[in-house]
Amino acid sequence: MKIENKIILVLLAVFVSYSLLFSGFIYYSIFDYAFMDFYKRLEIRAITAAKIYVEHETEVMVIRELRQEYLEKLPDENIELFELTELYHSPHKHDLSAYKKEFINEILDNGSANYNDQRIFYYGMIYESAINEKYVVLASAENYFITHHVSYFRNILVGSFMIAFFIILLVSYLFSQKITQPINDIIKKVKEISSGNLHMRLEVNSGKEDTIGDLTRTFNDMLNRLEASFESQKNFISNASHELNTPLTTIIGEADVALSKMRTSDYYIESLMTILEEAEKLNKKTHALLRLAQTGFDGKKQEFSRFRIDQLILDVKETVMKISPNSQVNIDFNLLPENHNLLKIEGSETLLHLALSNLILNGCKYSGNQPVRVALGVSPEQIIILIKDTGIGIPEEELQFIYDPYFRATNTRNHEGYGIGLPLARNIIQMHDGKLQINSEMNKGTVVRVLLKPAKIESPV
């Protein structure tokens, strides 16, 4: 069911339920009031008729005048009066067939009673005169309020309900259209977006902070990530194809030339060495690609353990010195906290070792083995690793591309590399819910910040 129809049905259900309950309450209250009010009218007429019949003449004249002036005659009004003793001793003398037997008995037992037979209402009472004579007064009449006014009121309620129902139906329809229009616009716009136009974005009303605005901004953020991922994938495939094709072309070309005719043994040795060199380059690039691909998996699928970040940095320095013995790595632990539990991190020690090794080796390589400073700062909320060198830096206009696989800055032609280190390091750090920040200036050096979250401190049992 469409959301528009659901909104209409919900609004109609709420309206109908409330209207039925409210109208039923009003109708029942007025209906009950009409019953009690009409019995009271009959009681007044019964008392008035009894006084006119049994009291002194002076009082009778006044009562008769009051009745004629203030008490209009009711439809089918009938009032009868009987002596109480006669009803007890000689009930057969009077015709009481128009009244229910239970009605008469209740009057005799309780002093008053009432009931209704469809439109005709009956009221009876025992009246005691001034000289202690007792009479049974029976009054009956048609309840015109029930037969006319209440019926008219009921018709008004039904008519009003029907009119209000159609008004609410129209309002619900317009309201549902108004509510769902932004969503329909989003759906229509999204259908226009494909891999060929990922640059398109949904319009956001900056003046409003609402759910639709949050949805639009969230979708635009997703499109930004998709576009970046799509472009990165295209660049990765293009660059990887180029990088893998170069050594393969060299190997094939060298083999073709060597096999084109008989060569000297020295030539074959030289050709095999060239092929071996290119094959080793191809092997390194393939392994780099595999490592980069592995870091694209969900971090939850990795085997995480708890270890100290300061010890990891010392291990990384040892690895860097083995790979590049001429490197100078200075570690600054002056900001270590007194609580060593803050130094613990939960993650993949192997992958983080690989990421930090790449970052520090880059600093050593692009600074010509000048000193590279590594500092560690820790707070209860964050672990900060600072790697600073004084090397060639990165051109400002090229900083936006440094995480593209196989991208290398224009000023790195004299340095060996494959453009895999930074994308690999960033993927690993993001896998650990961290951030990699790089600031650089040409010929002044580069500052790398690795932001990680410390492991939760285990409470003592």
For the whole model, what pTM was predicted? 0.46
Residues of the chain with CATH 3.30.565.10: 299-452
CATH class of 3-151: alpha beta
Residue 118, pLDDT score: 76
Domain 211-294 has CATH 1.10.287.130: yes
d(CA 42, CA 141): 8
d(CA 187, CA 418): 42
What proportion of the chain, given as a percentage, has pLDDT over 70? 82
Residue 97, pLDDT score: 77
Among the listed residues 391, 389, 383, 419, the one whose alpha carbon sits nearest the alpha carbon of residue 403: 419
Given a cut of 50, the residues of the chain with pLDDT beneath it are 58, 60, 69-70, 297-301, 461
d(CA 166, CA 177): 17
How many of the other CB atoms lie within 10 Å of CB of 110?
10
d(CA 138, CA 126): 9
User: Which pair of tokens denotes residue 256?
Assistant: 């073709």
How many of the other CB atoms lie within 10 Å of CB of 184?
12
Residue 193, pLDDT score: 78
How many of the other CB atoms lie within 10 Å of CB of 48?
19
Residue 437, pLDDT score: 92
Multiple choice CATH, 299-452, 1.25.40.80, 3.40.190.10, 3.30.565.10, 1.10.10.10: 3.30.565.10
Among the listed residues 99, 62, 93, the one whose alpha carbon sits nearest the alpha carbon of residue 78: 99
Alpha carbon 15 to chain centroid, angstroms: 26
How many of the other CB atoms lie within 10 Å of CB of 149?
13
Residue 303, pLDDT score: 66
d(CA 405, CA 140): 102
d(CA 108, CA 82): 12
Residues of the chain with CATH 1.10.287.130: 211-294
Residue 446 contacts residue 438 (beta carbons within 8 Å)? yes
User: Which pair of tokens denotes residue 91?
Assistant: 């009930």
d(CA 2, CA 460): 54
- What is the phi/psi pair of residue 81, to 5°? -135, 130
- What is the phi/psi pair of residue 252, to 5°? -65, -45
